[in-house]
């Protein structure tokens, strides 16, 4: 497993919409991703800087992924 060091993303105007689309695509494809890729994405998400802080990020990610199963 790759070590996820903290990286900062600098967003420009309109990037938040693009991030929502990319994030939605990842969530909707989550079950097709190998377990090691899922783990890497979770770890990277937890180490991103430059975004608003989410107090319960891990729980929120899990909830969103589980809710997305009902959309399929």
| 8 A C-beta contact, residue 39 and residue 3 | no
pLDDT digits (tens, 9 = 90+) for 11-49: 999 999 999 999 999 999 999 999 999 999 999 999 888
Question: What's the chain's length in residues?
Answer: 72
Mean of the pLDDT values across residues 45-62?
A: 90
Residue 3: what pLDDT?
Answer: 64
* Burial call 40-58: b when 16+ CB within 10 Å, e when fewer: ebbeebeeeeeeeeeeeee
Within 13 Å, how many C-alpha atoms sit on residue 5's CB side?
Answer: 0
Residue 29 tokens, joined: 């494809």
Residue 70 clears pLDDT 90, i.e. is over it: no
């Amino acid at each position: 497993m790759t070590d996820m060091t903290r990286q900062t993303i600098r967003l420009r105007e309109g990037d938040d919409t693009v991030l929502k689309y990319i994030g939605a695509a990842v969530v909707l494809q989550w079950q097709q991703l190998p377990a090691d890729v899922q783990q890497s994405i979770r770890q990277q998400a937890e180490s991103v800087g430059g975004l608003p802080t989410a107090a319960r990020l891990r729980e929120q990610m899990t909830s969103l992924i589980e809710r997305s199963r009902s959309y399929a």
